[in-house]
Amino acid sequence: MKKGVVYLMLFFSINMFGVVVAVSEEIPDPFDLRVGKTSYDETLNILKSNKWEYKEYEKKQFKMIGEASPERGKNTFLVVMPKHLKGLNGIRLFFGRDSVLDAIIINLEPLLFPVVMDDLDQKYKVVQKKLFGESYSTDYTHVLYEKGNIYIELQKLSAHNVRLVYVSKLLYENYKDFFHKAYESFRVRQRKEPWMKDL
* pLDDT, tens digit, 9 for 90 and up, residues 91-130: 999 999 999 999 999 999 999 999 999 999 999 999 999 9
SS3 labels along 126-154: EEEEECCCCCCCCCCEEEEEEECCEEEEE
Give the mean pLDDT of 183-194: 50
Residue 177 pLDDT: 80
182: in domain: no
147: in domain: yes
Q: Is the pLDDT of residue 18 over 60?
A: no
146: in domain: yes
* pLDDT, tens digit, 9 for 90 and up, residues 90-101: 999 999 999 999
pLDDT band at 11 (very low <50, low <70, confident <90, very high): very low
40: in domain: yes
For the entire predicted model, the pTM comes to 0.78
189: in domain: no
3: in domain: no
Give the mean pLDDT of 28-56: 96
- Contact indicator for 147, 26 with CB cutoff of 8 Å: yes
Residue 25 pLDDT: 56
Number of domains in the chain: 1
Q: Is the pLDDT of residue 24 over 60?
A: no
* pLDDT, tens digit, 9 for 90 and up, residues 150-175: 999 999 998 999 999 999 999 999 88
**Between 43 and 189, where is the model more confident?**
43
19: in domain: no
pLDDT band at 199 (very low <50, low <70, confident <90, very high): low
CA–CA separation, 83 vs 88, rounded Å?
9
Q: Is the pLDDT of residue 88 over 90?
A: yes
Domain that holds residue 72: 29-175
197: in domain: no
- Residue 79's beta-bridge partner residues? 55, 92
